[in-house]
Amino acid sequence: GAGVSQSPSNKVTEKGKDVELRCDPISGHTALYWYRQSLGQGLEFLIYFQGNSAPDKSGLPSDRFSAERTGGSVSTLTIQRTQQEDSAVYLCAGAGTSNTGELFFGEGSRLTVL
């Protein structure tokens, strides 16, 4: 596609429910990142995928968070048993084969946990 697509754009859920956030990166981008942006905060690294390599999960805040990337393209971030502190904007970004270079961000998925 022309850009990075994320869905849903907004998600309101009740505490304890599971949520799935989807990212569809730019075709050909082998690197894919998930970041979390809490209100007034910076961009917190969550997880990084590169091609067929094992993902770097070092930023996931707890075992309630997981992500997968199927076929080197679409990625899903899953949050189980959501808590109020999970409320944030979840941003997906892709990058080309050079690794060190521009990140192309999606518009984000705003998650609100009541």
Partner 1 sequence: GENVEQHPSTLSVQEGDSAVIKCTYSDSASNYFPWYKQELGKRPQLIIDIRSNVGEKKDQRIAVTLNKTAKHFSLHITETQPEDSAVYFCAAEDSGTYKYIFGTGTRLKVLA
Q: Which residues bind partner 1 (CB under 8 A)?
A: 4, 31, 33, 35, 41-45, 48, 50, 56, 58-59, 91, 99-103, 105-108
Closest to partner 1 by CB, 18 or 102: 102
Quote the least distance from Cβ 14 to partner 1, whole Å: 25
Contact 19, 13 (CB under 8 A): yes
Closest to partner 1 by CB, 74 or 103: 103
Partners of 21 in the beta sheet?
A: 77
The number of angstroms, rounded, from the C-alpha of 102 to the middle of its chain's C-alpha atoms is: 17
Quote the least distance from Cβ 41 to partner 1, whole Å: 6
Partners of 45 in the beta sheet?
A: 35
Closest to partner 1 by CB, 22 or 80: 22
Quote the least distance from Cβ 81 to partner 1, whole Å: 26
Reduced to 3 states (helix: H, G, I; strand: E, B; else coil), residue 34 is strand
Distance CA 80, CA 15 (A): 10
Contact 1, 74 (CB under 8 A): no
Closest to partner 1 by CB, 32 or 82: 32
